[in-house]
Amino acid sequence: MSMKVLACIDGSQYSQSCCEYAAWVAQRMKAQIDVVYVTDLRQFEIPFVADLSGSLGLQPYQSIMGELQQLEEQKASLVLERAEDLVRKAGFEGEVSRIHKTGFLVDSLSELEETAELIVIGKRGENANFAAEHLGSTMERVVRASSKPCLVASRAFQPVDKVMLAYENVPSCNAAIDYFCNSIFFSDIELHLVSVSKKDDEAGVLSELKAAEDRLGSAGLKVNCQMLHGAVAPELSEYAKETGIGLLAMGAYGHSKIRHLIIGSTTTEILRDCRLPTLLFR
């Protein structure tokens, strides 16, 4: 069975870069692309729409709902057609499948990702321009629910020739190391392995960083290894700017939900502040 890349789109501004990154990844992996659009049922469940049945009577209400659903079908068809066009314009010549689901993306995810090697999704959705500093809720739910690596697309596509792997010795980051070692995706891309430490734990972090570097090196990857000091998100963002990094890779949401509620998530902070596409591993 050939590999597949799953591109999740919603017709928003981020859908274009999502398609372009999916094309880039699939081309490198020699994979197929499944483009999926999910009709969000919530738009038919808001109180105003539900109250129409009482105001108009059952028959007119059913007629209006039928028209709304028909319009949504047309929108889905246009969005998927546009997505395939973008993938082709990005230079992808392999197989592209269009998938339209009704419901919620996260509920369909286990079925959709079953044959996928990697998922591509936009950092924000249809309301991106109204909450520019906030991440899309669908994106975060997908990343948390998925068992596959998720590439979170930035607003605009940029060619990638340097990748930074933000490393700490936790299962999600070690899953990233395993993926890098076993995937042709990164075989000819300059790789920067970077850790951020506090002064009091520098020796331990350095030892773990060296072990990760050795694993990557044994897989034939050329690694530029760096230790940074300070706050994680600002240090990684600054390093990426200085070195021309085109893609950030990191472990995602490694702490408990309780800890996330109390002090927030480093993953969320980096995704919000960093303008790069980000490849996340669980």
Q: 163 has which bridge partners? A: 191, 247
pLDDT of 202: 85
Residue 252 is classified by DSSP as -
Query: What distances in angstroms separate CA 254 from CA 57, 186, 201, 210, one per listed residue?
Result: 51, 24, 19, 21
- Angle subtended by helix axes 47-56 and 58-89, to nearest 10: 140
CA distance 238 to 168: 18
Encode pLDDT of 93-111 as tens digits.
Answer: 999 999 999 988 999 999 9
Q: Angle at the Cα of 168 (from 139 to 106), degrees rounded to 5?
A: 20
Residue 127 clears pLDDT 50, i.e. is over it? no
Name the 3-class secondary structure at 30: coil
pTM exceeding the 0.75 threshold for the entire prediction: yes
Based on its alpha-carbon atoms, the radius of gyration of the chain, rounded to whole angstroms, reads: 21
Confidence band of 116 (pLDDT split at 50, 70, 90): very high
Q: How many residues does the chain have?
A: 282
A 10 A CB-CB count for 30 gives: 10
User: For the residues 223-240, what does the mean pLDDT come to?
Assistant: 93
pLDDT of 265: 72
In the chain the domains, ranked by start, together with CATH numbers, are 4-44+71-153 (3.40.50.620), 162-281 (3.40.50.620)
- With a pLDDT cut of 90, the percent of the chain lying above it is 60
Encode pLDDT of 175-197 as tens digits.
Answer: 999 999 999 888 889 999 999 98
Residue 256 clears pLDDT 90, i.e. is over it? no
Q: 228 has which bridge partners? A: 196
